[in-house]
Structure 1
Amino acid sequence: MARSLKLGMLVSADPNLELARSGELEGVGIVEAGEWKEKSVRTPPMAASKGGLGGGGAGGGKAASKPTVHIWVVIACLGLLAWFLLALGFFADVVRRSPYSSAITQHLQTKTWRRANPAEIDCGVVGVEGKFIPKDQQYHPLTEKGNRVGKSCRSRYEQHCLWKSSNFRPTAEFLGVLRSYEEHHSRCVEGHDLQTALDQGSAPKDCQYLIWNDLDGKGNQLVSLVSAFVYALLTRRVLLITREAQLQHLLCEPFPSSSWVVPEEVPHVRHRAKEARHGTFYARALNETAQGRPVTAPKHLVCFLSNLQKPDDLRFFCPGEQKLLEKVPWLFFWSNQYSVPGLYFVPGFRAKLNAWFPDRAVFLHAGRYLLSPRDEIWLRVMRIYTAHMAPADRRVGIQIRAWSNEYKPIITRHILSCAWFSGLLPNVSSARGANSTSSSLEDDDMATPVEDDVANRDAEDFSAARAGERVSVVLTSLRREYAEGVAEAFAEGRTEARQTVTVLSPSAEGEQRTGRMSHERKAIADMWLLSFADDLISTPRSTFGYVAHGLAGIRPIVFNRYGLDPDTVPDPPCLRTNVPGPCFIDHPHQMSCPLDGPAFDIGDSATALPEVRHCLLQWGVGVFEGVD
């Protein structure tokens, strides 16, 4: 369209003259104010015989004087060309001598590289200018011509532009595993009667299945879903999700050629209800092995990994148990936890995980591939991000999980103490005079918060370099009072180093409404908005927070003794934790693996392997990135 506009401007300047010279165009479309208009341009009848070099209408009778005129025109053009070449040489010399010459050269090289590589993602589409994601870093690659796969799911490509962490890049090995898995998933799903296969406990050649089912809230569901996907990659199983979870209404299909939703006709509910749990199978296998009898594997089995699991269920992380499960064609995965840290205890899994994720950011890479909000949710995310987060110099996320519906003022005090202690927000407790700065967004209501200027306590607590910066705070909680309390605190103090702070509460549902679609959409949007922050304060043991900082690749600042002191804020109020990903809360520890021998017994999970550590200020263990 830009080309047409340029043509339209040229023609509209003098259409009769320019088009008549060509003698070819008739009925040319001219662009004026964005619309096409037809204009007929014809060569006058006498132009060919009387026009000479001059051509064209009334001037044809004076052809004898034209050659002299044209000679002077040529001389003038040559003079202009010489002047242009001299000016160009002078400009090139200035650029060469300029201290910015290297930057200019790099910019030109970048432009050339972009033209030569149309398959890169240009983050300018979401307002992040100058950031490009080349094909070898794309979880879902563009086509060679730079086109997206599929017409929907904008977040699949755009969300990667908004995550701030640049240290985590997918390895070629992991991207190769993803491409291989996509082909395998399509081959084992498309064109097969899965209903009959499940009923009979059979499977197509080289195909085995892992059916994931939801437990508890959305945070629990997403961390367990990513765990199931990683386990499916390790065991070459095909991951399918149940329709009852309704994730198909919240997340895009991750695999390009086939669906991950269990077909409607597959009676997975009946099988899931009647089949034995893998812990029971493990106990039977141990008994049969002790008696010298061969172990017969069932055709269907339930893997149950939740806070309600039994001791035998945790033997899922023993190498011998995994050898038994290799013979089961259909596994049902029930979990509300992030169980990836436990997979490191299986030597074969550990080797693959370390090859795929040398940075140990398993949740980040697997989650960024698998989890992409649907367009209607992504539209909400982008509206809020563009209006309230993008204009800021610094973005701070605060995630508050209240396990009761009652508002507790002590938690507001804990939030403020932590924000000041960590240096993410200025301490404004010693002066007076600023306005409140809070807003909430209900449904699609994009209320604009009022910004107010606040300042820090003194130069020691908040550096002068941050004076005048704009800070956007996104605080997610079921109770809006926490965002209001933080905003009101900034109305109490002002000192010399002025700042602009905006406190935004994207949603405040009052109570958790798992299963209600409007509630679920807001929950997904809130998690993603938090993950786009530059730094995070998070509630311990909250899977909602796990998803946010896990996708962001941030080791969050975690509240100390959160909710345990009803009247006082602990000292220190918070500390930065030691793992960027989610924690496996009910993890295996002090556990034997009888099928494998004493060498594989799991004592203290946090000291058995270098990849696994206790999560600081939180329950459970996490995948340790190797940086204290």
Structure 2
Amino acid sequence: MDADKVGEATTGNPPEAEKRRGVAAPGPATVLAFVALPLLLLSFFFGDQAASIAADSLARLHRFKVSSPAAADRLLGGLLSPEFDQAACLSRYEASRRWKASPFPVSPYLVERLRRYEANHRRCGPGTARYRDAVAQLRSGRNADDDHAKCRYVVWLPIQGLGNRMLSLVSTFLYALLTDRVVLVHETPEVEGLFCEPFPGTSWLLPPDFPYKDGFSAGSNESYVNMLKNGSVRYDDDGGCGGALPPYVYFHLEQIHLRLQNHTFCEEDHQVLDRFNWMVLRSDSYFAVALFLMPAYRAELDRMFPAKGSVFHHLGRYLFHPGNRAWGIVEKFYDGYLAGADERLGLQVRIVPQMAVPFEIMYEQILRCTLEHGLLPQVTSTSEPGGGARSPSTKVKAVLVVSLKREYYDKLHGVYYTNATATGEVVAVYQPSHDEDQHTEARAHNERALAEIYLLSFCDAVVTTGWSTFGYVAHALAGLRPWQLTPLDWGKMRADVACARPASVEPCLHSPPSLVCRARQDLDPVAHVPFLRHCEDVRAGLKLFD
């Protein structure tokens, strides 16, 4: 599929000519025209009754667009700073108009810590004298001692797809908050401009001349675990490190066989890591969960997050603001196809190529989930509305299908287009794109993926696929506990339970750390940490909950 295509008109997408224009939000007349087409098509099939429904739905949309909704919390309870130019990043203050109200109050202490972080980033960020001094010290080949280190840094390197990157970046930012470091992000070409700058008056982008951003792996000599093995660093009696430190440390947190390496979340290891002024970090995991296992961080985390299930929800909303190109996709699709509905259901289907569930089996599981839990209505064997003539106030439900594959949209759309519902409500099914395969290396693909994450997060309810980091990000941003499709029993070729609701909106850490530390053995943390559970979709995984 052409990387520049957002989708086809037959899947509920804006026409090709429209996609190639600028990203400015459509006016009310354009919005009405966008929504009129899919709704008025119903009149062709259902006759005058459907025409009445369509007209009523358009009237509701008109009220949505013209009247001022209840004042949206544009600063998200104080998470966001008001210091930004709105035109430079349209999504920053607009997303709040489409999200449901957050179920988690923002801790005043978290707001205080974010403002302190922003001030520190302005002092130490790229382009400042302190940053230049820190880089000069780095290039000298030795770690600055505590008396000369005015600023400390963690450099984030990308790996894996967009969902993994967003999870690991939130985790890295939380680590920076806890250790008074400045986050610098290595922006590779495939994500250039994908996100707006999150901190006022400065940049989080790693300058292109930074010397250490390529060639790292678990086997690198600069890896902290390997430094321990070769004696470059060691514990002393105080839990610190004897001898001079190298100029930087590489912290590798990639999941391998569903387990992070040893020496990543032990107290004594973080006492050593804390002495490095420069850290280069690469991770594909939501290791924020593991930070809660560290006694040294616990008190600060408790103050920032009285509700443990709110960590990604708050930090994700604070950090991630789609750039204007991606936000243009969001606004056009949402305002054109979803805004006029009475209710929006998001359906995210992720098929892993290595363990591809056959289409008919997955589709049957999706139907079981949505019908058993009242997320979608039953259909009748006729095109006539159930229960007699429809009222002009008949409910309109929009279903947003997010999948690389088109088949799920095609079949679900066909069912609700050709059959009436037993409840009499109208169900309209849309799919923004269907790229068939994941192309993390392509910027246009990543823009569509980010747009669809946000579209899912604007839904009233969501069904997601287990193990999917993409799904985790969407429902955590929304603050919604999803209906999560359970993994398939490959022996039966069926999931006994179609879907279940997780204990919290928090993402899952698929690969918990090994906790063979000096102070404790490798115990199951769920047994002694009251706000941790194993994940519903990954038995060994860990997640935060309240």
User: Is 2:142 the partner of 1:142?
Assistant: no
CA drift at 1:404 = 2.1
Residue of structure 2 equivalent to 1:197: 137
Deviations 1:63-120 (A, max 9, x none): xxxxxxxxxxxxxxxxxxxxxxxxxxxxxxxxxxxxxxxxxxxxxxxxxxxxxxxxxx
User: Is 2:103 the partner of 1:167?
Assistant: yes
Residues 129-528 of structure 1 mapped to structure 2, 5 A cutoff = 129-133=69-73, 137-142=77-82, 148-149=84-85, 151-189=87-125, 190-191=128-129, 192-193=131-132, 195-200=135-140, 201-202=142-143, 205-244=149-188, 246-269=190-213, 272=216, 275-283=221-229, 284=231, 289=236, 294=242, 296-308=244-256, 313-360=261-308, 361-404=310-353, 408-428=359-379, 431-434=380-383, 468-491=394-417, 493-494=419-420, 496-528=422-454
Deviations 1:493-550 (A, max 9, x none): 5454201111111110010011101111000001010011111111111111011011
Amino acid at match of 2:444: S
For the residue of structure 1 that corresponds to 2:222, the secondary structure is coil
For the residue of structure 2 that corresponds to 1:382, the secondary structure is helix
For the residue of structure 1 that corresponds to 2:440, the secondary structure is coil
Contact 1:224–1:335, Cα closer than 8 Å, also in 2: yes
For the residue of structure 1 that corresponds to 2:96, the secondary structure is helix
CA drift at 1:271 = 8.1
**1:432 and 1:515, CA in 2 relative to 1: closer, same or farther beyond 3 A?**
same
Return the match for 1:584 from 470, 488, 509: 509
Deviations 1:206-245 (A, max 9, x none): 3111000111111111111111011111111110011326
Which whole-Å CA distance do the structure 1 matches of 2:65 and 2:149 have between them?
Answer: 44
For the residue of structure 2 that corresponds to 1:349, the secondary structure is helix
Contact 2:196–2:322, Cα closer than 8 Å, also in 1: yes
Amino acid at match of 2:314: H
Contact 1:272–1:332, Cα closer than 8 Å, also in 2: no
**1:236 and 1:529, CA in 2 relative to 1: closer, same or farther beyond 3 A?**
same
Deviations 1:29-75 (A, max 9, x none): xxxxxxxxxxxxxxxxxxxxxxxxxxxxxxxxxxxxxxxxxxxxxxx
For the residue of structure 2 that corresponds to 1:243, the secondary structure is coil
Amino acid at match of 1:281: M
Residue of structure 1 equivalent to 2:461: 535
For the residue of structure 2 that corresponds to 1:474, the secondary structure is strand
**1:522 and 1:565, CA in 2 relative to 1: closer, same or farther beyond 3 A?**
same
Which structure 2 residue ranges, 5 or more long, are not aligned? 1-63
Amino acid at match of 1:277: S
Which whole-Å CA distance do the structure 1 matches of 2:65 and 2:394 have between them?
Answer: 28
Amino acid at match of 1:420: L
Relative to the length of structure 2, the TM-score reads: 0.78
Deviations 1:258-292 (A, max 9, x none): 11111111112368576521222344489664899
Contact 1:432–1:493, Cα closer than 8 Å, also in 2: yes
For the residue of structure 2 that corresponds to 1:316, the secondary structure is coil
For the residue of structure 1 that corresponds to 2:353, the secondary structure is coil
Amino acid at match of 1:610: P
Contact 1:543–1:582, Cα closer than 8 Å, also in 2: yes
Q: Which has the higher contact order (CA 8 A, sep 6+)?
A: 2
Deviations 1:309-339 (A, max 9, x none): 8978343211111111111111111100101
Deviations 1:451-496 (A, max 9, x none): xx8769xxxxxxx99x931111111100011111222233565454
Residue of structure 1 equivalent to 2:529: 609
Deviations 1:161-194 (A, max 9, x none): 2211432232211111111101101111223325
Which whole-Å CA distance do the structure 2 matches of 1:566 and 1:575 have between them?
Answer: 20
CA drift at 1:127 = 7.2
For the residue of structure 2 that corresponds to 1:554, the secondary structure is coil
Which whole-Å CA distance do the structure 1 matches of 2:362 and 2:439 have between them?
Answer: 22
For the residue of structure 1 that corresponds to 2:451, the secondary structure is helix
**1:242 and 1:369, CA in 2 relative to 1: closer, same or farther beyond 3 A?**
same
Residue of structure 2 equivalent to 1:62: none
- Percentage identity across aligned positions? 30
CA drift at 1:392 = 1.0
RMSD: 3.1
Contact 1:301–1:331, Cα closer than 8 Å, also in 2: yes
Which whole-Å CA distance do the structure 1 matches of 2:507 and 2:369 have between them?
Answer: 21
Contact 1:248–1:261, Cα closer than 8 Å, also in 2: no
CA drift at 1:389 = 1.6
Residue of structure 2 equivalent to 1:91: none
Q: Which has the larger radius of gyration?
A: 1
Which whole-Å CA distance do the structure 2 matches of 1:553 and 1:618 have between them?
Answer: 21
**1:309 and 1:195, CA in 2 relative to 1: closer, same or farther beyond 3 A?**
farther
Which whole-Å CA distance do the structure 1 matches of 2:266 and 2:385 have between them?
Answer: 55
**1:127 and 1:510, CA in 2 relative to 1: closer, same or farther beyond 3 A?**
farther
Amino acid at match of 1:179: R
Which structure 1 residue ranges, 5 or more long, are not aligned? 1-123, 435-452, 457-463
**1:493 and 1:195, CA in 2 relative to 1: closer, same or farther beyond 3 A?**
same
Which whole-Å CA distance do the structure 2 matches of 1:138 and 1:279 have between them?
Answer: 39
Contact 1:219–1:547, Cα closer than 8 Å, also in 2: yes
Contact 1:341–1:584, Cα closer than 8 Å, also in 2: yes
Relative to the length of structure 1, the TM-score reads: 0.69
Point out the more displaced range, 223-232 or 396-405. Answer: 396-405
Which whole-Å CA distance do the structure 1 matches of 2:235 and 2:374 have between them?
Answer: 60
Residue of structure 2 equivalent to 1:21: none
CA drift at 1:306 = 1.4
Which whole-Å CA distance do the structure 1 matches of 2:396 and 2:97 have between them?
Answer: 21
Contact 2:248–2:278, Cα closer than 8 Å, also in 1: yes
**1:258 and 1:469, CA in 2 relative to 1: closer, same or farther beyond 3 A?**
same
For the residue of structure 2 that corresponds to 1:498, the secondary structure is coil
Which whole-Å CA distance do the structure 2 matches of 1:271 and 1:212 have between them?
Answer: 14
CA drift at 1:136 = 7.9
**1:569 and 1:500, CA in 2 relative to 1: closer, same or farther beyond 3 A?**
farther
Which whole-Å CA distance do the structure 2 matches of 1:165 and 1:618 have between them?
Answer: 29
Residue of structure 2 equivalent to 1:593: 517
Contact 2:233–2:245, Cα closer than 8 Å, also in 1: no
